[in-house]
Structure 1
Amino acid sequence: DDDDNEDDNEDDDDNDEEKESDEKTPESKRKSQIKESWTALFNRKPFNLIFDFNDSQDDEDAVNLEDSEEDEINYRRLLKEEQEHEREHTEQLIKQTSEEEAVKTETTTETPKQPSSKPVVKKKSKEEAHLAQKQFEKLLLNLPSFVPDYSKVKNPECQKQGEVFQRQLRGQRIWALQMMDANAKIPSGLMRGNTNQLGDFDLCTKISQKIKISESNNMKMKGKYCLANIDVVAAADQLKLPVHLIQGRNFIRSTINDPNHFFPRYSTINWGLCLPSACTYHDADQILDSLLLLIVAATFLATMNDYLDSPIFSSILTGKSNNDEDVKKRDESKQVEVKNGFANQILKCFSVKRNLTYLLTASDDDIKCLHGLKALSIVLLIISLKLIPMGRVPYSNRNKLTEFFNSPFSVFIRTSFLYEDVFFLISGLLTTFSILKIISCDKKSLWFRKVLMRVLRLVLPLIVVLLFYAFVWEHLGTGPQWSAVVDKNADLCKSNMWKNFLFIQNFYNIEDMCATHTYHLAVDMQLMILSPFLIFFIYKHPSFGLGLYGILHALSAAARFSSTVDNRLSVVVFHGMKLSQLYRTFNITFSVALHRLTPYLSGISLGILIKEYGRVKLPFGVAISGWISTLCGFIWCFYTPSNLSHKDYQYDPTTAAQYSAMSPMIWSISIAWIIFACYSDASWKLNDILSSRPMIFLSRISYSLYLVVFLVFFYFSGSHKSSEEFYISSYIDRLELFIVFTAAICFTLCVDLPFKNITKLLFDCEHHEKEPTSANQESSEVDFESPFADDEDDFVFRRTKLKHEDNSKINTNGEHLNGSIENETEEEKPRKSSKFENNMNARRWKWEILDE
């Protein structure tokens, strides 16, 4: 500004004109400041990214790699001279323009000739024609993009290919322009959170060009895509707010040191780079480290040839054709099978028609509302877990996503642990039914049979899913985040899936867990193994058992409270929560059996209550009081943490600990009342809604939904290749949900139900005497399975006692003891009843249903 003022004072001799120029000084200062700011921005070193161009364009492919250092020095010198020349030329034009305006103000009728005006115009047009190539280079220099500087790379192969790329870019070769264009660029909307720029993954990985280095030396150039994770740190106080907006208002604060295979690093920036195939992620780290004063970590996702071939699909097609031929041969041969043979029974377990009929058939359970509770809980749990993959989508308005999660209604998404507690409560209830039956029968050996049945029931479908995780999933697609999401989880399953098979994965950190969400199965299995001791004491020694029951309740609540205070945990996701804090919460609270004991104990107490009192007709006042208390409990569970969604929320460990200790207890009591009221016919129309066919259908596929949901979520996250706008409707992706439910139904029909039928068939002592029934026609014996994997047989419980009689088959109401016999035709009843009676006489025990 001072230099401009001095020039004006030397050129203008008239005092009036000096006054006029002084009056225009604020406007000229403002324009000058803007101009100098942009000039300084484009001339900074971080934007001078492309070096070492070859001035010769005679040969398209020949490149002299030995003179690269000298060319770089010369180019730097020429570039500096050019910038100085352009600056002088701009100042000269400004000066001449001001002189022309001054002359026009002096003369009203005649305009004096300006000898220098025509040469200036000619020179300008000549420079534009002559500087076309230089303007192209200047565009590359000033383009806000990470164009790599390969002189900083220590890898000789990467540096050599980088030099070839720079020379080919100098010659405007199409493949080099594509490689540069595939890099991420600084977009508009940074303050709206539009910082995750993935570049063009497909364009980069499809680049393949043969370069002629010399007469006898050719080089094959291929594109390799790299995704860099960048943490931005504000060095000055005035930059903290812009950085906060750039990071999407820090809904979840993360760093590149946090694991990325399950929970997304929300505030970490993802930036796509396209490099020559000879470069590694170490080279990408060196390139970015030379450009940014930031913490940088880079990870390669894929090269061009990694996902071109799909042998898995061809093998599936081949297997299908071979299977069709085998079926045809079997049909043609018409081999005679034994009608009731064991092999035939195994084959019937895989009957899609029978299994589909079972899924669509209404239930005859005593506690039908369990179906509805399971269905609602699994749907709400899936909606809550959708938050995890959404954090990976490169929305151009991530601040809008943060505002959506800051709304009070987002509390239903943030409290996903409550929906898991419903399954723990149902599991405790069903386990109690089975254990009480075993105690009444005085058949202690049945306990080990039950445990083994349950292990096989859960682990067989789990094996199929985990093998798919480890060896198939990673070959089904590709994308910018495929390596960080899919490949990382596949590698974890290859090395750690054995822990899931033994149900001990929750003993290890969630960062090293295969299929992270399956920690619930491990916790449930461990609680089931320990529950018989407590139930036995309550049933045989009520005083001691109830005292132990209270101590365990208090111990579980105290453990949650102390762990939350000591480790600064939070069971509810709040605004600004650190990702490391979220991982600590999962490792210390969510995946620990003692901390999840409260809903399981509530299920045990509810099972004992139903066993002792059965269907009780509740007085109207008691029913109303119970429903009002339940409604108040639900309101407390959701209203108390609603302030955690505010963007100005300040974490308080004491408040978080109180909610962590009390919410599972209040929530479990409220759910237990719903079950008891529905069982006692005090729920009015609610029981009909919870036991409707859609609810039963969702309940029967809940285990499959639980297993496959993240396979679909992470597939879409890893293959997402471009930015998009966030809308509220974006939270429910119809295509994604359609694939999730379709995959769950297919998995249930082809894997889950067949393995369930086989498990029951293997443990059926009478499978040589009778034909195995379908899943909805089996014995009414209660199997305490995972709440995700139950069928209506698990919900049947009637008050019974052991009687050593041989002639009682039907209760006082004429109801058959075996639920499957009731569903048979009149012609089949006598034969089935006789066989049933003989079997009971052989065992010398049977159940008698007591009518209260």
Structure 2
Amino acid sequence: MIAVLVLLLSSAFCTGYSRFFRENAPVWKTNTISPQCQNSLDLFVMNLNATNEDNTWALRMLDASSKIPVGLLYYNFGELGNFKECVEIESATDHVAGKYCLGNIEVNSTAIDDQSVFIKNHMFMKILLTKLAGGVKTKGNPTLAICIPDNCTEGDAKQLMSNPQLGIDVQSVMCQTAGNVYPELTTEAVAGLSVLSVIIVVVMISTIFDLFYTKKSATVHHQLLLAFSLYTNGKKVFETSRRPSNLSCLDGIKVISMFWIIILHTYSVYSSGPVSNAIDIVNFTDSLISMVFINGDLACDTFLLVGGLLVTYVFFKRKNDVDMSVASIFKHYIHRYIRLTPALAGVVLVSATLLRYLGSGPKWPYIVNSFEGFCKTYWWSAILYIQNELNVDKMCVGHSWYLNIDMQLYIFSPLIFWLLRNRVRTGIVILIFTILLSMAVSFIRAFDNELSGVKSTYYQKSSSDAYMNTYYLKTETRAAPWLIGVILGYFLTKKELMEAKLSKKIVIAMWLLSATVLLTCVLGGHSTLRRPEYFKLQNSFYITLVRPAFVLAVAWIIWACATNRGGLVNALLSLPIFQFLNKFIYSMYLVHVTALYMIVFAYKTPIYFNVFNLAYWFWGIFMCSFGLSIIWVLIFESPMIAIEKILLG
């Protein structure tokens, strides 16, 4: 069928689409096309010949299929046809309905020089095919859509769209009919709706009880019922306090980090979506400013730093004597699990049972296959926080890898606390040694697998899967920021260290050094690593050093702010707006990726990429994620925090 599209360039304007398909119907009479599909295609040709204007389903299928778009040499590779027109086609007379199929075009460069007279005489198409085969540096392949009768299979669609003689193959074909776009509720969907309905009913009852029942008591039953009240939880969530805290800067750091993560994911997902100007993405990715977007994953290291800091700081601030009994350690683990899991379980539930009903579009099957398919199979490993070791290629709620690492490191926190309490010097030495060991493992993984230091680059030596599976998602290679946070958190509880005097020159020098390190980590790999040539040693050292260096610079900012050396920076990071937004950060992190993919993969036409549109998309995704996070906090996070306090104290 791609051959048909190639021919359309010259034939469509001369003879018309209908005549062309009538004359080339024998192309479909092959053994590779199923009999039922051949019969439907015969009806297709007959319908093109028909003069009945009320029964033009074949012409509508042709109209809904991809045509050669303008700007192909400008990498307009996001052709999607007309999705809605196709799936709404239905002929009661011929018993035919529309099936929309989308595939990715791959071109074999060895087949281009030995082609038919047609290609040799049409230089434009040869240039185009050569560009397609020449390693176009875009994220994803060009897409091609075709609308065919619903009796045809995905295999039939692949055969119709491919043309071996032109070296063109179409892969990853996804087909949809009206039944997929408007699916009936499955048993899993009913179960998911039932669970959510029960939660909503409990929230409503709790809120009504809170508002109208005046004879409340302090019994456990009444407190548990009030735990789900929207009124009480809403007051807690939406109020900001002016309580003095030497760690108030963490609010701003966490919120800014969340902004950065959303920027990274917005750029990554939109640039791999249906884009009409992919060449501008290539040019943008080669610019220095793109490093700010590409290196947004450093914000996850900031979260790991803050996670290690807080768990240590809270523990040593709260207790004079470390209780290392089995019951205390068990309570320590239960607290963390209850704090993280309900909100995550809510995302897993929606992803596994309801996501397919929340939208539709040419690429919507990707949502269903990845989000829903993986969560149906691996929901249990998601809530056990072991996906980054067990099913790394099929992660349910893929961005929960960060929670996996955080939880796995948290398991060792009682041992770390004991060491810091009883053998402080030994404990610090062991922590530093473990940090260096993690960095050494990172270097070895990067060197052996020839990993590229900058993840989102078109000049990667190895596949992105190797980068993710051997380094990015692994606890042993990402532990350094968390362990640095543990050391910082412990130091922040030591009065003698907090009150240690530093000269003004040293403070200024540390601020300048911190700013230099931050900028170097974000921008430094642009001119040295983003090249067609691969430098193994440089990339390996970059991967080894960039994250520890970045979090050490952030650690200085936290230390300076906590010891009254932060000045204007501390004032900005401690603004009440950050304290307010910080309450929604965890839920926002959980829901923003799902919201982003739902929006992008529901697009039915290509989008235009530029920095201004990227900013527009970012704020849209942020506001959507913020709205969802409010719901998530009120029905998942806040109730479980209240219940934990009631039951565990």
Q: What range is the shorter-chain TM-score in? A: 0.7 to 0.9
Query: How many Å separate the matches in 1 of 2:15 and 2:137?
Result: 45
Query: How many Å separate the matches in 1 of 2:557 and 2:637?
Result: 29
Query: How many Å separate the matches in 1 of 2:130 and 2:421?
Result: 59
Aligned residues of 1:396 and 1:725 also touching (Cα < 8 A):
yes
Aligned residues of 1:371 and 1:695 also touching (Cα < 8 A):
yes
Residues 409-428 of structure 1 aligned to structure 2 (within 5 Å): 409-428=289-308
Cα distance change on mapping 1:337 and 1:283 into 2, 3 Å? farther
Q: Check if 1:226 corresponds to 2:91.
A: no
What residue number does 2:119 align with?
none
Cα distance change on mapping 1:542 and 1:750 into 2, 3 Å? closer
CA RMSD between the two structures:
3.5
Match of 2:266 among 386, 392, 410: 386
Aligned partner of residue 513 in structure 1, secondary structure: coil
Residues 72-471 of structure 1 aligned to structure 2 (within 5 Å): 138-140=19-21, 149=28, 151-171=30-50, 173-211=55-93, 219-235=94-110, 246=132, 250-252=136-138, 266-290=139-163, 293-308=167-182, 338-359=216-237, 360-364=239-243, 365-436=245-316, 440-445=320-325, 446-471=328-353
What residue number does 2:118 align with?
none
Cα distance change on mapping 1:48 and 1:434 into 2, 3 Å? closer
Report the alpha carbon displacement of residue 615 of structure 1 after superposing the two structures with TM: 3.1
Cα distance change on mapping 1:437 and 1:150 into 2, 3 Å? farther
| Superposed CA offset, 1:505-559 (max 9, x none) | 0103532111111011010111111233234334322443333223212211111
Query: How many Å separate the matches in 2 of 1:745 and 1:335?
Result: 26
Residues 727-742 of structure 1 aligned to structure 2 (within 5 Å): 727-732=610-615, 733=617, 734-742=619-627
Q: What is the TM-score normalised by the length of structure 2?
A: 0.86
| AA in 1 matched with 2:550 | W
Query: How many Å separate the matches in 2 of 1:196 and 1:588?
Result: 32
Identity of aligned residues (%): 25
The answer to which structure has the higher helix fraction is 2
Range moving further from structure 2, 712-721 or 606-615: 606-615
Match of 1:690 among 569, 573, 598: 573
Report the alpha carbon displacement of residue 746 of structure 1 after superposing the two structures with TM: 2.0
Query: How many Å separate the matches in 2 of 1:411 and 1:45?
Result: 41
Cα distance change on mapping 1:290 and 1:248 into 2, 3 Å? closer
Aligned partner of residue 468 in structure 1, secondary structure: helix
Aligned partner of residue 252 in structure 2, secondary structure: helix
What residue number does 2:117 align with?
none
Aligned residues of 1:184 and 1:272 also touching (Cα < 8 A):
yes
Cα distance change on mapping 1:580 and 1:753 into 2, 3 Å? farther
| AA in 2 matched with 1:761 | I
Query: How many Å separate the matches in 2 of 1:328 and 1:628?
Result: 53
Aligned partner of residue 474 in structure 2, secondary structure: coil
Query: How many Å separate the matches in 1 of 2:549 and 2:17?
Result: 69
| Superposed CA offset, 1:803-841 (max 9, x none) | xxxxxxxxxxxxxxxxxxxxxxxxxxxxxxxxxxxxxxx
Give the length in aligned residue pairs: 615
| AA in 2 matched with 1:760 | K
Cα distance change on mapping 1:304 and 1:578 into 2, 3 Å? farther
Range moving further from structure 2, 297-306 or 198-207: 297-306
Aligned partner of residue 102 in structure 2, secondary structure: strand
Report the alpha carbon displacement of residue 402 of structure 1 after superposing the two structures with TM: 2.0
Which protein shows a greater Rg?
A: 1
Gaps of 5+ in 1: 1-41, 50-82, 84-131, 212-218, 253-265, 765-852
Range moving further from structure 2, 304-313 or 753-762: 304-313
Aligned partner of residue 511 in structure 1, secondary structure: coil
Aligned residues of 2:587 and 2:629 also touching (Cα < 8 A):
yes
Query: How many Å separate the matches in 1 of 2:213 and 2:140?
Result: 64
| AA in 1 matched with 2:431 | Y
Cα distance change on mapping 1:663 and 1:645 into 2, 3 Å? closer
Report the alpha carbon displacement of residue 621 of structure 1 after superposing the two structures with TM: 2.1
Aligned residues of 1:192 and 1:246 also touching (Cα < 8 A):
no
Aligned partner of residue 510 in structure 1, secondary structure: coil
Cα distance change on mapping 1:136 and 1:409 into 2, 3 Å? closer
| AA in 1 matched with 2:145 | G
Q: Check if 1:632 corresponds to 2:506.
A: no
Report the alpha carbon displacement of residue 192 of structure 1 after superposing the two structures with TM: 0.7
| AA in 2 matched with 1:581 | S
Q: What is the TM-score normalised by the length of structure 1?
A: 0.66
Query: How many Å separate the matches in 1 of 2:242 and 2:254?
Result: 14
Query: How many Å separate the matches in 2 of 1:688 and 1:737?
Result: 24
Cα distance change on mapping 1:165 and 1:232 into 2, 3 Å? same
| AA in 2 matched with 1:406 | D
| AA in 1 matched with 2:258 | I
| AA in 2 matched with 1:565 | F
Query: How many Å separate the matches in 2 of 1:672 and 1:727?
Result: 34
Gaps of 5+ in 2: 114-122
The one of the two structures with greater contact order (alpha-carbon pairs below 8 A, sep at least 6) is 2
Match of 1:743 among 628, 636, 639: 628
